[in-house]
Amino acid sequence: MLALLAESNTGWVVGYVIGIVVVLVVVALVVPILLLARSIGGQAQRINTGLSAAVTNTAALAELHTTIESAEVIAAGLTRGRTKLGG
């Protein structure tokens, strides 16, 4: 009877050991992934901050076309003035 009891417990012990090993392997694989994801999240935050600053710093470039048009009108007026003055 004692041998039967010991034999039936062996299966449970082996099952528990296998289960614990599987859980440890999964944890060993998931923890580095989570740490890497956290690092990527921090870098993404810094990138987003930099891009927001770039948008603010380059907003004036949207008016560059208007500035070019104004400069062309001024240059054309100066050319007309020079022509009228004989230069």
Q: What is the pLDDT of residue 7?
A: 63
Q: What is the pLDDT of residue 86?
A: 81
* Sequence-separated (6 or more) residues with CB below 8 Å from residue 68: none
Would residue 53 count as lying in a domain? Answer: yes
Would residue 68 count as lying in a domain? Answer: no
CA angle 39, 41, 43 (to 5 degrees): 70
pLDDT digits (tens, 9 = 90+) for 19-75: 999 999 999 999 999 999 999 999 999 999 999 999 999 988 888 999 999 999 999
Would residue 9 count as lying in a domain? Answer: yes
Residue 30 to residues 18, 24, 34, 37, Cα–Cα distance (Å)? 18, 10, 6, 10
How many helices (H) and strands (E) are present in the chain, helices listed first? 2, 0
* C-alpha to C-alpha distance for 84 and 52, rounded to whole angstroms: 50
Domain of residue 34: give its range. Answer: 2-60
Would residue 50 count as lying in a domain? Answer: yes
Q: What is the pLDDT of residue 4?
A: 53
pLDDT digits (tens, 9 = 90+) for 9-19: 777 888 899 99
Q: Provide the domain count of the chain.
A: 1
